[in-house]
Amino acid sequence: MIEKLLKKDIIEVLEDLYGIKDYDLQFQKTRKEFDGDITLVVFPFTNFSKKSPEETGNEIGEILNLSDFIYSFNVVKGFLNLVINDDIWLAQLSDALKDNSFGFINANKEAPTYLVEYCSPNTNKPLHLGHIRNNLLGFSVAEILKASGKNVQKVQIINDRGIHICKSMIAWQEFGNNETPETNNIKGDHLVGKYYVKFDQQYKLEVTDLVKNGIKHEEAEKTSPIFIKAQEMLLKWEAKDPDVIALWKKMNSWVYQGFTQTHKRLGVNFDKNYYESETYLLGKEVVKKGLDMKVFYTKPDGSVWIDLSDQGLDEKIVLRSDGTAVYMTQDIGTAIKRHEDFNFSHMTYTVGNEQDYHFKVLFLILEKLGYSWSKNCFHLSYGMVDLPSGKMKSREGTVVDADDIMEQMFQNAKNIAADLGKLDQLSENEAQELYETVGMGALKYFMLKVDPKKRMLFDPKESIDFNGNTGPFIQYAYARINSILRKNNSIIGIDMGVNISDKERELIKLILEFPKLIQESANSYSPALVANYIFELVKEFNSYYQSTSILNAESESLISFRVALSKKIAEIIKSGMLLLCIKVPQRM
């Protein structure tokens, strides 16, 4: 915001001094070891001034210093450090206080539509810890894009068909004894996931027995009776066998009920669901058109491929020799269908980095097929999540379920609250809500503070620490500010003559960075920027709070200013945390 105010004056100075018009100015934060609020990079102007960077900086600074805007300046090599007058900071804070949607831009009908895909689960197992990072990244990116002024639609594709689904179905038929979520009081997705694990256990036993009977291991894997049954079921499903379809619909309905509960507790949602069972054939017609366009070619066995060796990649199959679709075929068709549905300008796929190659190929294929919007498709590639105990494997049943980790975080919050003994004034319902808010806040913040591209280690104990860069640390600061506001929330306006401290000036500067921060986070698809900005804001406020009396300041105008400053910080904490899908409590 300060940059916008400065730009006009600096452009006028540059035109007067050197005849430069509409130059793209480069601003930086002033380094902490130098005096200044904002720094102008001077080097580019030396071509016009024909003077050294220091002389050029001093020449520009002398004229700027005549304005009411600048208090003082200094030049370090080619950098002009400007100290802004306090009344400018106070005026900017006053404007921010009046803006109830500070930092947010409301999208209009003409704003581009951004599609964000995330979650995309399989219906043979419950959501796990990795899905938590996926869901939170996708949801948060969508919310940040929305805050930056984009029209946003959130979608997922549910992988509800294929051999992995049939494995759970066969195992349930073989070993389930008509068990249902109701009969055993178990979430539907957990029930189906149990039989996916059961299939793998039975499959390994059968393979071991076949090998003992003299069959080679590779052959045993293909001839295991339960595996053959799963393959036969898949063929029946594709042939729309009524009994198989009925079982498929029943078990999938169990899973969807479970997913809905998990997503509700996690706090994420979707505007539209796509289903692989409905989209897996969509790309086949596109492939036929691509053959006519010479984008694809047919091999002697009848399979269809694309050669991307000229792009530094290799050949990729898009249709099997028997005419059946592969994942790439489905993704081609689904992307086109989504554009027909939403006419999006940009589409983001939130998918782990093991699929980097897949999306490079997908976007290239769409481009070669003539879809110009493919250039605005983006793979939000993120690193996997590990636990202190190591990696997770779903078919072996060693995955940490999303529901289990959320419940663990709730219990951790409850135990810590009991140890601190600060909940005596809360009712049982209020206490339960607080445990949920703190536990889920710890989980979500820990997931989102890490750069999406990085692989991460999630440590439940570390995430809920009330010290350091954690969700509870931020939530506690918000509750502390609300305690101040409950005692005195009478803001009589900001006296432009009030003397502000260095800490207060730094807090105002941090507040004013929020709008720009949202835009930077949207442009980089990184919720981590928001998370770490809020942490820095809270850290600065806590330092200020420890050294400054807010409600017992020496004058009413100073009390009013400090209350106003605290209130705006609380508002930013709340709105920023909501971008991360995190609630903040009024009391802690």
pLDDT tens figures, 335-346: 999 999 999 999
Statement: residue 425 has pLDDT above 90: no
Q: How confident is the model at residue 398 (pLDDT cuts 50, 70, 90)?
A: low
* Structural domains in the chain plus CATH codes: 2-84 (3.30.1360.70), 162-266 (no CATH), 282-324 (no CATH), 402-579 (1.10.730.10)
Q: Which strand ranges, in their side-by-side order, compose the sheet holding 38-41? A: 27-29, 38-41, 79-84, 70-76
Residue 11: Cβ within 10 Å count:
15
Statement: residue 139 has pLDDT above 50: yes
Statement: residue 396 has pLDDT above 50: no
Residue 185 tokens, joined: 């009081």
Statement: residue 416 has pLDDT above 70: yes
Statement: residue 80 has pLDDT above 60: yes
Statement: residue 392 has pLDDT above 60: no
Residues 6+ apart with CB under 8 A from 391: 384
To the nearest whole percent, how much of the chain has pLDDT over 90? 83
pLDDT, tens digit (0-9, with 9 covering 90-100), for 301-340 = 999 999 999 999 999 999 999 888 899 999 999 999 999 9
SS3 per residue for 139-156: HHHHHHHHHCCCEEEEEE
Give the pLDDT confidence score for residue 275 in this predicted structure: 95
Distance of alpha carbon 203 from the chain centroid? 38
Do the Cβ atoms of 121 and 159 come closer than 8 Å? yes
Residues 6+ apart with CB under 8 A from 149: 105, 106, 107, 111
Q: How confident is the model at residue 391 (pLDDT cuts 50, 70, 90)?
A: low
Give the pLDDT confidence score for residue 395 in this predicted structure: 45
**Burial of 183 by CB count in 10 Å (0-12 exposed, 13-18 middle, 19+ buried)?**
exposed
Q: Quote the strand ranges of 151-276, DSSP E.
A: 151-158, 272-275
Q: How confident is the model at residue 46 (pLDDT cuts 50, 70, 90)?
A: very high
Give the pLDDT confidence score for residue 65 in this predicted structure: 87
Between CA 189 and CA 162, with CA 270 as vertex, the angle to 5 degrees is: 45
Give the pLDDT confidence score for residue 387 in this predicted structure: 78
**Burial of 278 by CB count in 10 Å (0-12 exposed, 13-18 middle, 19+ buried)?**
middle
The CA distance from 128 to 392, in Å, is 9
Q: How confident is the model at residue 1 (pLDDT cuts 50, 70, 90)?
A: confident
Q: Among 15-29, 399-413, 414-428, 524-538, whose mean pLDDT is lowest?
A: 414-428
The CA distance from 436 to 413, in Å, is 8
Backbone angles phi, psi at 268, to 5 degrees: -110, 160
Backbone angles phi, psi at 152, to 5 degrees: -125, 140
Statement: residue 23 has pLDDT above 70: yes
Q: How confident is the model at residue 221 (pLDDT cuts 50, 70, 90)?
A: very high
Q: How confident is the model at residue 461 (pLDDT cuts 50, 70, 90)?
A: confident
Alpha-carbon distances of 522 from 150, 270, 434, rounded to whole Å: 9, 19, 30
Statement: residue 69 has pLDDT above 80: yes
Statement: residue 451 has pLDDT above 80: yes
Q: Give percent helix, percent strand, percent coil of the chain, each to the nearest 5.
A: 60, 10, 30
Placement of tokens 């036929």 in the chain: 288
What angle, rounded to 10 degrees, do the helices at 502-512 and 527-547 form? 160
- Sign of the alpha-carbon dihedral angle for 12, 18, 20, 24: negative
Give the pLDDT confidence score for residue 271 in this predicted structure: 97
What secondary structure letter does DSSP report for 159?
B
CA contacts within 13 A on the Cβ side of 480: 17
Give the pLDDT confidence score for residue 364 in this predicted structure: 97
Distance of alpha carbon 120 from the chain centroid? 15
pLDDT, tens digit (0-9, with 9 covering 90-100), for 528-576 = 999 999 999 999 999 999 999 999 999 989 999 999 999 999 999 999 9
What secondary structure letter does DSSP report for 85?
P
Give the pLDDT confidence score for residue 488 in this predicted structure: 85
Instruction: Give the containing element (helix H, strand E) for 235.
Output: helix 225-238
Q: Mean pLDDT over residues 210-224, rounded? A: 95
**Burial of 493 by CB count in 10 Å (0-12 exposed, 13-18 middle, 19+ buried)?**
exposed
Query: Where would I find the H helices in 421-555?
Result: 428-448, 460-463, 471-487, 502-512, 514-524, 527-547
